[in-house]
Structure 1
């Protein structure tokens, strides 16, 4: 199968929408504005910093907005949605295992590891590593 490359226009992250939901009160159906749980607001905010967010197109944000609604229901107590939420988050590499499966590697972590390894290799001995540390004898 050949790889097909298409041009897309990434879009910025939209705000979570405002909408009404039907709620039963005293055996009467009333409509009220949906309140996003704090955990879902934090989750949506976190997506702004997702390493791939700058590449998300409108369809990605629409899918993630639907996922936010599932996330909200999950955090409101509908534990039966845990599996669907996990599947949806996996598509965007939310866990290290998901990222490995998707062949996503964060360059920031790699360059940090390289810098750390270079610092360690510049230090010749344990005496050099402990330079400047003084032993404090008990009184």
Structure 2
């Protein structure tokens, strides 16, 4: 039960402080614009041929450009994502062995809800759009039942002093 038991030790006397063993490096951040998917040639059967991006990879690239995460991408992030586009193109050309590598790479950028949760990413605008309601988006208990219908049950903490 919360509030029961001994008080916690002062911070200076705790056995485990879990301090960072390596100091943090603070970098100057500069936002970078997304590059276009490049045109280039590849060697096939001893000849140089124009590489054609799959349409699905072009669509995928545009999704990343307009994603909320992209507001925080620097130039090195876009370079890694550009390399990841090649992995995506391999997958959409039928090379299923590229799937695992693609999944690992896009996870680092917060591609899925689980990835964003692991990276501790949240959508800030969502907090203000729900009109002050709870996380379910529906009316609160106070709005549904009114303050007059809400009462505390016997045996709670507030009733201990009332007896």
Compute the displacement of 1:116 (Å): 7.1
Q: In the alignment, is residue 3 of structure 1 matched against residue 24 of structure 2?
A: yes
For structure 2, which runs of at least 5 residues remain unmatched after alignment?
1-19, 146-163
Q: SS of the counterpart of 2:68? A: coil
Measure the CA separation in 2 of the matches of 1:103 and 1:11.
22
Aligned: 1:86 with 2:103: yes
The answer as to 2:38 corresponding to 1:45 is: no
Please give the TM-score of this superposition, normalised by the length of structure 1: 0.77
Cα root mean square deviation, aligned: 2.0
Q: Highest CA radius of gyration, 1 or 2?
A: 2
- Deviation of 1:49 after TM superposition, in Å, equals 1.4
* Cα distance in 2 for residues equivalent to 1:33 and 1:9: 33
Which stretches of structure 1, 4 residues or longer, exceed 6 Å deviation after superposition? none
- Of structures 1 and 2, the one scoring higher in RCO (CA 8 A, sep 6+) is 1
Moved more, 51-60 or 67-76: 51-60
**Matched residue pairs, number?**
120
**Structure 2 Cα separation of the partners of residues 109 and 81 of structure 1:** 34
Alpha-carbon separation, structure 2, partners of 1:52 and 1:40? 18
Task: Provide the TM-score with structure 2 as the length reference.
Answer: 0.66
For structure 1, the residue ranges without an aligned partner over 5 or more in a row are 126-139
